[in-house]
Amino acid sequence: MFVNVQRSNCLRLAFVWFVLHCPVSGLLAKPTVSIGSPQNGALMHPKTLKSSRHLNVRRGRNYGTETLIKVIEGAMRHVHDHHPETPKLYVGDLSDADGGHLGRHVSHQCGRDADIGYFRDGPLHEEHRLIATKPEQLDLYRTWTLLAYLLEHPKVQAIFSDKALIEALYEHAHSLGHSEAELARWFGPKVGHKYSGSKLRHWDGHTTHFHLRVRTGDDHQSWQDISQTLDAATLTVLRKKTRPVSKTTHDAVTRTQHRPTVAKLSHPPVQPRRLGRSRSAQRARDRARSSRLKARLLAAQVRAEQRYRLGLNHNREDRAPATSGNEEPGMRALDTATQRAADGANDRFTPPTAKDKSSS
């Protein structure tokens, strides 16, 4: 009897391990559903992009569609195959676990967007954060290997980067001997333009990373289609996290991405001219401005006092009597100090007494 019970427990444990670790467990998971658009969408049953020997991923915002995850992992394997000693690359925001509005982003709502850092040259490379990059700081070979793979991938819809970086990559690709037809297909007729005519386009605020967006697939549904399959309560929860953003607001957020106090778009109505102008932010700016002004005034006072003392020292040296060479150095220093103390006492202002007033 005891042997049968022990055997049944072992079978149960083996079944649980099989379900959790074998590929068949993927058949039991619900398929990913990307809803709506990147600016007005949601995400259900997402896949997770995990850190590996190729990537460092920001936790909590590393959810996306299966297509997006496979494209990123495939691109990194491609880079490491061509450059074996490639360091890890930092990947920033993808989407939230259930999609919807994400921080200061206008898009990143339906699991089809990802912020990926650049490969920087040598010791300048950062594996744990996104950092502003100039064209001369780029590791052109690794960055171009990564972008060329993404530009040729049929699932990639668009890549948004900075104009200066795109132009540097264009010059690098041209120096590698690529044909004009290939360059036109990758960069378009307007290199580094917002409407370049290709997948690689310029967009403000992308000096720290490039923005990858994949195409819709079988896992995508519109809000109208998903409303016919979901109950009203679940649909309401998903709708609460989405806020369609106008182009005017999008441009205003792009211009103010460097400000740490940009108002979240999840609190409508938001006027573009009021972004970053909350009362707490204004008070913080006033305190910082006041402290800077006090520091400047203090520095000016110190400089004025130094100049005043320097002028007094020059006058005292002119009035000091000539000393003979037979005096000892210690006595000469003592006489100079005594004379300075006497001059300082004479220089100080003493208010007149009542006796002085009566005599005058």
Q: Residue 158 maps to which CATH number? A: 3.30.1380.10
* Cβ density class 270-298: b for 16+ within 10 Å, e for less: beeeebbeeeeeeeeeeeeeeeeeeeeee
The answer to whether position 126 is within a domain reads yes
- pLDDT value at residue 31: 86
Q: Which strand (E) or helix (H) includes residue 42? A: strand 40-44
Find the length of the chain: 360
Beta pairing, strands 113-117 & 200-202? unpaired
Closest by Cα among 212, 217, 215, 208 to 200: 212
- pLDDT value at residue 357: 45
Q: Is 247 left (phi over 0), alpha (psi -120 to 50) or beta?
A: alpha
The contacts of residue 205 (CB under 8 Å, 6+ apart) are 254, 257, 258
- pLDDT value at residue 244: 53
d(CA 249, CA 205): 15
- pLDDT value at residue 217: 86
The answer to whether position 43 is within a domain reads yes
Number of domains forming the structure of the chain: 1
- pLDDT value at residue 271: 45
- pLDDT value at residue 278: 74
The answer to whether position 159 is within a domain reads yes
Domain that holds residue 118: 34-244
d(CA 171, CA 120): 17
- pLDDT value at residue 224: 85
- pLDDT value at residue 101: 87
Successive 10-residue mean pLDDT values, the chain, 360 residues = 56 60 53 89 92 92 94 96 93 91 88 95 90 93 95 95 94 92 91 87 94 91 84 79 57 45 41 58 82 80 77 60 49 48 46 50
d(CA 125, CA 181): 32
The answer to whether position 111 is within a domain reads yes
The answer to whether position 163 is within a domain reads yes
Q: At what angle do helices 329-347 and 279-319 cross, to 10 degrees?
A: 120
- pLDDT value at residue 276: 52
- pLDDT value at residue 202: 94
Which neighbouring-strand residues pair with 210?
Answer: 116
- pLDDT value at residue 303: 78
Radius of gyration of the chain (CA): 34
The answer to whether position 154 is within a domain reads yes
Token pair recorded at residue 72: 């990123």
d(CA 73, CA 51): 10
Token pair recorded at residue 177: 């001997």
The answer to whether position 40 is within a domain reads yes
d(CA 201, CA 190): 9
The answer to whether position 345 is within a domain reads no
d(CA 30, CA 44): 9
| Distances in whole angstroms, Cα of residue 352 to Cα of each of 105, 243, 349, 356, 359 | 71, 76, 9, 6, 11
